Every structure is written in structure tokens, then in C-alpha cells.
Structure 1
Amino acid sequence: MPLVCALALSPREMFGERAKPETKGNASAQKLLTMSWIDSTERRLGHLAIPHLLRYVALLNGLAFVLCQIKPGFEKMLEMDPTLVMQGQVWRLFSHVFVPSLGGVFPTWITAVFYLMFLVWLGDGLEQAMGVFRLNLYYLIGVIGTNVAAFLSGQSVGGFFLNNTLVFAFAAFYPELKVLFFFVIPVKIKWLAWLDAFLLVLSFLLSDWGYRAGVIAALTNFFVFFGPSWIQSRKRRKAQEERRSAYLESADGAETLHSCHLCGRTEVTAPEMEFRIARDGNEYCRAHLPGSGV
């Protein structure tokens, strides 16, 4: 899990009331719940969905961690290695998601505990927001994308990219929810997602094209679920800005009854202003009326 070595949840968030998806500020995220192709797929395959999927993933991650401590190097049997998959070790297409993404300044077992807790927390929140089937589908597409990324880049990518997509999706539904950065600093989850995105972009720019293709493939699930609604929201905002600009232009060019001979203000541009005809026959706003003393 990205940044998991420096991340902990507050007790209330971890053990208290379950988080509720926000309805303001994340309309794009909410719209994926009504995407027609997902609805039709759920009607046909919804009975195959696994409730609490990420809890099982976390459990198997914990088991893999224990086995790795007992037998160092055991994770090598689980990692996604394109070459070994082509040699017949097909279990690696799925087993790599059970290898914990650990590391950092804290002892490994502490990192593992918070990693598993964070994974369960993400899963419960996403399942509440997306529904069981949609979360299953999102995770499955992520696993497939990670496998494609491994073949495109020619190297094992582990669960790093897949876990990033979980953080991105969670931030889309719960942008204002806070976690404790370095176990001390309260930080909104959306800022952690932006930090993850920055690190991904940086690695994308500094790597070869094989790795870049892998990054794109690994993020397929996020693009598929959130990309269309994000594009639509951008189009709507652009259309609103264009309508506003057109209205302002039409207002500026509209015929007016009053116009200040000195500053050019009209009753359209300055509706609160009074206009008067001066002795010289020209019309002025009250601010520039000759002899008004204003």
C-alpha cells in the first residue's frame, strides 16, 4: 500500500462508525453507480460476486506475510513474473496480489499490521460506496491490468499499482475523510491520493516506454470506472463557462439607454449608478457629472 508505512487511521475511523460516501464534491464518482454496462453485467453475473472481498485479500496477505517470515524468500513464489508464467507457473497471475507492499522506517511487523488494517478499511468503504459486485469488478479489472503491466514492462510490478487504484477510488468517494500521516498529522485522503498520483507521474516520466505502458495498463480499472464521468463533468463545466462568456459578451454589446460620456459606464455594466444630462448636452454617470462635487 503506498505510504502505508507512514499511515494510520484514527480509532474512530478504524473501529467506530463506518464512513459514508459524500454526496457533494464528488458527483463524478457517484455516477459510476448508474453506468449501464456495469448494471447489465451485474444482472448477469452479480450472483458470482464475493462479499467482503478485500477482507479475504487482507487475510491471505497476512498469511503470506507470516510464511515469508518463517521462510525468507517465499514471496518469490507468489510474485508476478511474466517469464515464469510463460513457463507454466500460471498461479502467479493471481498470487501476486497476496504479497504485502511493505517497507519504510517502521519495523516490518508494525507496517504489516497497519497495511492489513488499511486494506480492510479501504475495502469496507469502497464496498459500501460501490456495492459488492462493482468492487469485485473493479478489483478484477485491476488484477488483469496489473498482469498486462507486468508483461508490457517485462518486470514484476507487485500490488503497488493495484493498491494505488484502491486509494484513488476511495478518495473519489470520501475526499474529505482524514487519516493520520506518520501516525500524527491528520491529512485528508484526497491529498494522499494526489501525492500518490504525483509519484506515479514522476516515475512515468523518468522510466522507459515499457514501464510507461505498464503504468497505464495497471490503472485501467480506475480509467474505466471514473474516466467517462470525469470527461463528462469537464465537458459540462466547459459548456457552462462558454454560456457564461456568451452572456457577458451579449450584455456588453446590448443596446443601452444611458451611457456616461466620460467613463463609458451604462445601466447594464453599472446597474446601481444614476445618470444625468449635463448643461453641455452630454450624459454622465453621477460620479462624473460636472459640478456634482462627487
Structure 2
Amino acid sequence: MNWLNKLERKFGRFSIPGLPKYIILLYVVGIMVQFAAPELYSQFTLNPYLILHGQVWRIFTFLLIAPSTNLFFMIFVLLFYYSIASSLEQVWGSFRFTMYYMIGVLGTISGAFLTYLILVLSGGEFNAMFVQMDTFYLNLSLFLAYAMMFPDMQVLFYMIIPMKVKWLAYLDAAYLFYTFFIATDFTVTGISIKVSIVVALLNFVLFFFSTKKMKAKGAMFGQKVRQRKRKAQFGEPAGHVEPKKNGARHECAVCHRTELDDPTLEFRYCSKCEGNYEYCQDHLFTHVHVKKDK
């Protein structure tokens, strides 16, 4: 069991179900403030210098900074972000999606203060006053995560050209590479962008490398024993396997993935559900328990 599984077992109840809609809602509020009170909107940015000088609300309000200033473009961007974030939450479960986003947010805050500290220690105290970061690159890393999960999903590029998500992910990666190595220099703005990209990609890499599933023979044996016990408890004949999607042996009752979709998935039966319900490791601790009507 990796560190995310352990955290989910202990703290799964603290996840934020429906987090994608709250993320989008914050952006919508930010857009409204941007058009109604631009001066107030300028007070939302993540600026370590101003935070250290009393404007502590900026640690939270930078989450309202929208990815674009074009209202028409923003409508489609937010709808797209909501779509991919909701899909990730459905597949990963609320806890893992919450962890991914919150680690990204905390990483962005830490990156901003680290950049500020480095500039101050290197004698650039005046430049350090202008360090600012937002969630733009965190959102791009969310798209990379989505592309890892659904590489062959087809979307309309610029709402016209049908294209598989994996090709858009390659464009996303190329854009990040270009921005980091070519388009930005070592001015305050450039350094802030570089650090934002590094933080977002570290979150992405950390999350995916730590969730690579390794099936030990002992775990597989224990799984089979528990499955037989569970089937016997509910009166299922020995050796009988209920038909699953596409002829699979196991299927998650939440996301409906099977071992045919991902051979590294592990499946368990829930002892608290009343019935023969099977879940993948991503939803074993986050699903709503099924109770039969009395």
C-alpha cells in the first residue's frame, strides 16, 4: 500500500467531495470581481512581500485569479477544466483528487515564498517585492493528469478540430518546455514562471510515480481468499464468477474499471456494504456504503 492509500485510510473522511465545482466557483467569483471592481481584484494576487507586510488574505484569494482575462474564452476554459477535474475525481476518488489539488496549491505558495527568499538573500530585495504566482500551471498539470488517465479520449480543439487528448498533452508539454527554457528569462516575472512550472510538474510526477501499483503474490493470494469468503457469505456458488463488463473478472462498483482497463488495479470487497459489491483501491475507502432497505 503506497502513501496515498495509507493517508486515505486515516484521513479519507476529510476529503472535499465535489471539489471541482468549488474550484470553478472561485474562478467565477474572481471574474465577477475583476469586471465589477478591478482595483479590489488586484488585491487577490499571491505576493509574498505584501503577505509578510500584513495582507495575509492573499494566501487564499489568489485561488480566485482566473486563468484568462477574456470573458468569452474563460467560459469555455472553465467548462473544460470542470470536465477534466470531475472526470479525475470520479476515477481517483474525492480524497486523491483533493490531495492532488491541495498539494499543488501548497506547492505554489511555497514556491512563491522560496522565490522571494532567494531574491532577498541574493541582494534583490527590491525585485522580490514583485514576485507573484497563481494556479495557471497547476491547472495545466491537471490536464496532463487527465491525459495520462484518458489518452484516447477525443475532444474538439478550438471547438472545431477533433483531436485525441494525448496529442493535446504533447502540445501542453511542448508549451511548458518552451515557456521554461525559451520564452522566460531571469527577471522576477521569468523566475516566478519557472518556479511555478517546476512546482506543478513536481506535483504531477510525485503523484503518478507514487501511485504505481505493485502486486505482490501474497497480496494476490490474500485477495483471492477474501473474495471466496465474501462470495460464500452471500451464497454465491464456489468457483462462480458473476459476468462483468467485457468478460472481466473484477469491476469497481463506482468507476466501473476492470482489470482489462488497467492490469495493475487491485480489487476488494467492502465488508460494510450489504451485498456483493467490489471496489478498486481508489474507491475502497471513499465510496458510499450500500445498505439494503429493511
State TM-score, norm by structure 1. 0.61
Going from structure 1 to structure 2, the CA distance change for 1:187 and 1:101 (only over 3 Å counts) comes to same
Instruction: Measure the CA separation in 1 of the matches of 2:33 and 2:206.
Output: 35
**Identical amino acids, percent of aligned pairs:** 35
1:197 Cα deviation after fit: 1.2
1:229 Cα deviation after fit: 6.1
1:218 Cα deviation after fit: 3.1
Match of 2:167 in 1: 191
Match of 1:151 in 2: 113
Question: Is residue 221 from structure 1 mapped to residue 203 from structure 2 by the alignment?
Answer: yes
Match of 1:44 in 2: 10
Larger Rg: 1
| Alignment deviations for residues 247-284 of structure 1 (CA, whole Å, 9 cap, x no partner) | xxxxxxxxxxxxxxxxxxxxxxxxxxxxxxxxxxxxxx
Gaps of 5+ in 2: 117-130, 215-294
Instruction: Measure the CA separation in 1 of the matches of 2:196 and 2:85.
Output: 24
Letter in 2 for 1:134: R
Letter in 2 for 1:224: L
SS at match of 1:187: strand
2:142 to 146, 156, 166: 166
Contact 2:4–2:96 (8 Å) recurs in 1: yes
| Alignment deviations for residues 44-69 of structure 1 (CA, whole Å, 9 cap, x no partner) | 11111111101011012111111211
Moved more, 112-121 or 51-60: 112-121
Equivalent runs, 1:11-30 vs 2, <5 Å: none
SS at match of 1:73: helix
Gaps of 5+ in 1: 1-34, 233-294
Equivalent runs, 1:1-294 vs 2, <5 Å: 36-103=2-69, 108-154=70-116, 155-206=131-182, 207-208=185-186, 210-211=191-192, 212-228=194-210
SS at match of 2:42: helix
Aligned positions, number: 194
SS at match of 2:30: helix
1:227 Cα deviation after fit: 3.3
Instruction: Measure the CA separation in 2 of the matches of 1:115 and 1:185.
Output: 16
Letter in 1 for 2:137: F
State TM-score, norm by structure 2. 0.61
Instruction: Measure the CA separation in 1 of the matches of 2:46 and 2:150.
Output: 31
Moved more, 163-172 or 205-214: 205-214
Contact 1:178–1:186 (8 Å) recurs in 2: yes
Instruction: Measure the CA separation in 1 of the matches of 2:63 and 2:169.
Output: 20
| Alignment deviations for residues 119-150 of structure 1 (CA, whole Å, 9 cap, x no partner) | 21112100011110000000001001111232
Instruction: Measure the CA separation in 2 of the matches of 1:219 and 1:90.
Output: 27
Letter in 1 for 2:202: T
Instruction: Measure the CA separation in 1 of the matches of 2:154 and 2:115.
Output: 34
Higher relative contact order (CA 8 A, sep 6+): 1
Instruction: Measure the CA separation in 2 of the matches of 1:229 and 1:39.
Output: 9
Contact 2:3–2:210 (8 Å) recurs in 1: no
| Alignment deviations for residues 222-267 of structure 1 (CA, whole Å, 9 cap, x no partner) | 021113568x9xxxxxxxxxxxxxxxxxxxxxxxxxxxxxxxxxxx
Contact 1:58–1:98 (8 Å) recurs in 2: no
1:200 Cα deviation after fit: 1.2
